[in-house]
């Protein structure tokens, strides 16, 4: 917290920065993995930062969490077993468990402290943590997928931090090959894939890595995310044995749960590729 009452994240290598006006700092700890800070902001509600980078705010996390969960789940005919890598704030887990078809979710987050802090300061994101279908593990997600029995999951969601440090391995071929093996036929892996404006090369590399590891179809979905670099974010999906061009549209329109960003129109629209990205991916 600067002396001036603002939290500022400088967007690495992008000569730009986002600031949020603060009311108070309410928590600060160093876990074995990272520094976890919680602030009360003036207009974005509670803010969690990890090593000084915005992870989640009350005001805009709904877009990210809904898009990380529902696009993949409604793209799959029968998503019964789901694995979440990372996802420590539990917002994605909450969205996944809104699907009655889901029978079992393993969430593998490296840093238990992120989840414990989220339970305290973001209780609304953690409402599903006690769901009997939810199984929380605090260990290395890369190793988890390596050790997973073949065909264990229908969906793998990689809800990770930026591709530096421990998270870097979540964007590479070795990891995707393990995901492919751990997925059932027609299974889907979806990972957050940063900003289309700032990180076009990363998205390109993810497409190449997913194709190289035998995913039949690969696609990127786009959504606004005010407090992430450039305000524009993406997730990239790989599907084995099937394409990503259709989804359970009727189920989506008749869904029994509330969303704030996602709906059937957004599902289809999110796959539209801006011209520059379309060309970069040719």
Residues constituting the chain: 282
220 is a site residue for a second copy (CB under 8 A): no
217 is a site residue for a second copy (CB under 8 A): no
Q: Which of 33, 140, 232, 281 binds a second copy (CB under 8 A)?
A: 232
26 is a site residue for a second copy (CB under 8 A): no
Q: CA 227 to CA 6: how far, in whole Å?
A: 14
2 is a site residue for a second copy (CB under 8 A): no
47 is a site residue for a second copy (CB under 8 A): no
Query: At which residue do the structure tokens 């071929």 appear?
Result: 173
The two tokens of residue 103 are 């029978």
245 is a site residue for a second copy (CB under 8 A): no
The burial of 53, by beta-carbon neighbours within 10 Å (0-12 exposed, 13-18 middle, 19 or more buried), is given as middle
Q: CA 236 to CA 89: how far, in whole Å?
A: 20
Q: Which of 124, 231, 243, 253 binds a second copy (CB under 8 A)?
A: 231
Q: Give the residue with the Cβ less far from a second copy, 20 or 189.
A: 20
Q: Which of 159, 241, 250, 251 does the annotation list as catalytic?
A: 159
Residue count, binding to a second copy (CB under 8 A)? 43
Q: Which of 53, 128, 205, 226 binds a second copy (CB under 8 A)?
A: 226
28 is a site residue for a second copy (CB under 8 A): no
224 is a site residue for a second copy (CB under 8 A): yes
Give the shortest CB-5-to-a second copy separation in angstroms: 10
196 is a site residue for a second copy (CB under 8 A): yes
Q: Give the residue with the Cβ less far from a second copy, 169 or 224.
A: 224
260 is a site residue for a second copy (CB under 8 A): yes
**Can 58 be counted among the known catalytic residues?**
no
Q: Give the residue with the Cβ less far from a second copy, 78 or 269.
A: 269
The stretch near a second copy (CB under 8 A) out of 164-172, 184-192, 239-247, 271-279 is 271-279
Would you please indicate which residues are annotated as catalytic (active-site) residues? 159
- Which residues here bind a second copy, judged by CB under 8 A? 6, 8, 13-21, 41-44, 60, 63, 196-197, 222, 224-226, 230-232, 259-263, 265-266, 268-276, 278
């Amino acid at each position: 917290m600067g002396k001036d009452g603002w939290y500022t994240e400088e967007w690495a290598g992008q000569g730009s920065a986002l600031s949020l006006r603060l009311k108070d700092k309410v928590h600060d700890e160093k876990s074995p993995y990272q520094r976890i800070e919680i602030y009360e902001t003036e207009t974005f509600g509670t803010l969690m930062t990890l090593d000084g980078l915005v992870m989640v705010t009350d005001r805009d996390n709904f877009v990210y969490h809904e898009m990380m969960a529902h696009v993949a789940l409604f793209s799959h005919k029968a998503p019964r077993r789901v694995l979440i890598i990372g996802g420590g704030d539990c917002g994605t887990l909450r969205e996944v468990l809104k699907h009655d078809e889901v029978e079992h979710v393993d969430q593998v987050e490296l840093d238990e402290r992120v989840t414990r802090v989220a339970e305290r300061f973001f209780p609304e994101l953690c409402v599903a943590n006690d769901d009997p279908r939810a199984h929380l593990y605090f260990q290395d997600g890369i190793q988890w997928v390596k050790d997973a029995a073949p065909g264990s999951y229908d969906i793998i969601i990689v809800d990770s931090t930026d591709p530096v440090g421990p998270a870097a391995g979540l964007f590479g071929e070795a990891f995707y090959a393990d995901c492919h093996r751990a997925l059932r036929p027609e299974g889907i892996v979806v990972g957050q894939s940063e900003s289309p404006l700032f990180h076009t090369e990363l998205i390109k590399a993810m497409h190449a890595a997913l194709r190289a590891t035998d995913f039949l179809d690969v696609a990127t979905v786009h959504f606004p995310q005010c407090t992430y670099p450039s305000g524009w974010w993406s997730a990239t999906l790989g599907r084995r044995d099937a394409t990503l061009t259709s989804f359970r549209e009727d189920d989506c329109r008749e869904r029994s749960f509330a969303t704030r960003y996602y709906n059937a129109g957004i599902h289809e629209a999110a796959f539209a590729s801006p011209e520059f990205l379309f060309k970069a991916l040719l």
